[in-house]
Structures are given as C-alpha cells and as structure tokens.
Structure 1
Amino acid sequence: MSVLKTLKLGKAAPTAAPADAKSRAKAKVIAHLEWQRELLAAHREGRALEATRPVYRTNEAGERVRVMQPVHVRRDWFEDTAGTVHFMVRYGARPLLLDKAGSTSVEVGGLDALPGVIDALLAAVRAGELDAQLATAAQERSKAFKRRSATTKAA
C-alpha cells in the first residue's frame, strides 16, 4: 500500500495578501485597531505592550533570515483639556476622516468606554463603512512614495 493513499489529500491553499489597494488598506486599519485594543488592555493593566512584526535581516553567515522585530504602537486616544477621552483612527501617520464634515476623532467620554468604541470601529471597517475614506487615504499615502524607474534599478 502506498504511503500517499494513507493520507487525506485536499486542494486547500494558503490565503494570499489582498491584491487591491482598498483591501490592503482595510486589512491594515483592522490590524491597527486590534493593536489599539491590545495597547489599551496593557495600559489598563499597567504594563507595556510587546508588539512585534516580521522583518528580514542578514545574519553572520550572509543569509537572509526572518526575525521578529519589536514595534512601537502609538496610542491613538488622548484627553482634551476638559478630561474627555477622544480616539483617532489613523492610516499611516495621518488621522482618517470619519465623515464628510472632516471629523477625525470619536468623543469617547471616559477610558472605560474606549473598548466599546474600538469594537464599533472594527465592525464599521469590516462592514465597509469606511471604504471610501480608506481608498482616498491609501491614494494620498501612495503619492508620498517615489516609484523606481528602470534606469534607477539598473544603476
């Protein structure tokens, strides 16, 4: 009997990263909001958040290896002079416009209500309510990066 016949075979494949800019932007904002939820939990417990991301480095042998690098997650909530907590959704380093009037933050009130606001924003992003704003923000952000031409690559 063949070894392959003893295994359960299938046609499953790993999911690829989103190909279009809107889906990538949506995935980035969802990941960022989840980090904000973790950062808030760490802040309430009085500890630092230990977030990491994968990067490639060259080791002593000259091989490129994947390692986990610590990441500083910026806190997106702040208190105004009256003591009211506000929360901003960021795409890159800039706050995301949440409505047509140009609002960039959500008035939370107190720190205890912040987890509910983050969950509501996560639901809104997953439901596609911020797709137009994310597409605009992704387009604006892409303007900041210069494309390499064929002559630059050859040099």
Structure 2
Amino acid sequence: MSTLNTLKLVASKKHATVSPVVHRRSKLAKKIHEQIELCEAQQQGQNYAPKKLKTYTNKQTGERMTVEVNKRIREWFWVSDNGKINLAIKYGAKTLPLNKKGANAIELSTGDELINTLKSIKVAVLNGELDDAITEVSEATRTAFGK
C-alpha cells in the first residue's frame, strides 16, 4: 500500500464521446504521422507499408475471412518543375487551405526539411492552429454528401 500513497490519486470519469474538433485534430495528426514515417522510410531506401485488416466473404464457401493487407498511403508531396519539393496537407481527399490568399502547398528544398516541416505541422495541428481550415474542409465535405 505504500506505493499507492506515493501516487497522486484523483476521482475522474472518462468521457464517452470526444468533441468533433479534437477528433478531427487527432485524425489529421495520425495521417501526418504516416507521412513522416513514409518520408523517413523513403530516405533510408525502404518501403513503408503499414498493415490493416480486411474482411471479405469467400464466394465458394460463404465463409467470412479476415486477412492482413498492406495499407495504401498516398504521398502528400511532389517535386515541382523548379526542382523544389511541394507539400500539401490533406484532410481526407481535400487539400487544406493554408492561408487566406489561397496557398495550398508549402515549398521545401530537401527531404530533411520536409520531415521537419511535417513534424512542426503535426505539433501545430495538435495545438489547434489548423482547426479553422479543418472545419472548413469538413463542412464542405459534409454539405457535398447532402446534395
């Protein structure tokens, strides 16, 4: 019991639901982390292929089976005509607007700069700096489904 006496004990309750803003932040942060892993693997000359579980029904037997398959990760970056790396931040299939002037990509010069920029953007997302852009894209997607 002496171990419990050294800890700070509080009465707390876990929330059943997470606010939509926090959910969108964590969703985007997870995708940015995947891009960081992809960039680091490419820098080392390796393939980044995370696994996911896929369930399907066998047509001959009718049995439901679950298999592990490679998850497809699309790159958010590309090399432009001037030889610079351009990085667009995606939320789902949509590109986030990065400022009020309509900029949608970040221009970078090296792969190391790309990884550092992705890490700083991840911190910015978790701090809530891109909440307005995420909400804008999310609402536009939601209204498109309503048509």
TM category (shorter chain) comes to 0.7 to 0.9
Once the 2 structures are TM-superposed, how far is the Cα of residue 53 of structure 1 from its aligned partner?
A: 3.3
Matches of residues 106-121 of structure 1 in structure 2 within 5 Å? 106-121=106-121
Once the 2 structures are TM-superposed, how far is the Cα of residue 18 of structure 1 from its aligned partner?
A: 3.0
SS in 1 for 2:145: coil
Matches of residues 6-17 of structure 1 in structure 2 within 5 Å? none
Structural RMSD (CA)? 2.8
Contact 1:26 1:131 in 2 (8 A): yes
How does the TM-score come out when normalised to structure 2?
A: 0.76
Matching residue's letter, 2:98: L
Q: 1:17 & 1:72 partners in 2: Cα distance?
A: 29
Matches of residues 105-144 of structure 1 in structure 2 within 5 Å? 105-144=105-144
Once the 2 structures are TM-superposed, how far is the Cα of residue 145 of structure 1 from its aligned partner?
A: 3.0
Instruction: Deviation per CA, 1:6-31: give whole Å up to 9, x if none.
Output: xxxxx9888766342x2222122101
Instruction: Deviation per CA, 1:58-105: give whole Å up to 9, x if none.
Output: 576756x76544221011111111111111100111210011111111
Matches of residues 30-49 of structure 1 in structure 2 within 5 Å? 30-49=29-48
SS in 2 for 1:141: helix
Q: 1:81 & 1:142 partners in 2: Cα distance?
A: 34
Matches of residues 140-151 of structure 1 in structure 2 within 5 Å? 140-145=140-145
Q: 2:100 & 2:30 partners in 1: Cα distance?
A: 24
Identity between Structure 1 and Structure 2 (%): 22
- Corresponding residue for residue 85 of structure 2: 85
Q: 1:12 & 1:62 partners in 2: Cα distance?
A: 44
Q: 1:31 & 1:16 partners in 2: Cα distance?
A: 21
Residue segments in structure 2 that go unaligned for 5+ positions in a row? 1-10
Q: 2:17 & 2:53 partners in 1: Cα distance?
A: 15
- Corresponding residue for residue 8 of structure 1: none
Q: 1:144 & 1:54 partners in 2: Cα distance?
A: 29
How does the TM-score come out when normalised to structure 1?
A: 0.73
- CA spacing shift, 1:145–1:69, aligned 2, 3 Å: farther
Matching residue's letter, 2:94: R
Residue segments in structure 1 that go unaligned for 5+ positions in a row? 1-10, 148-155
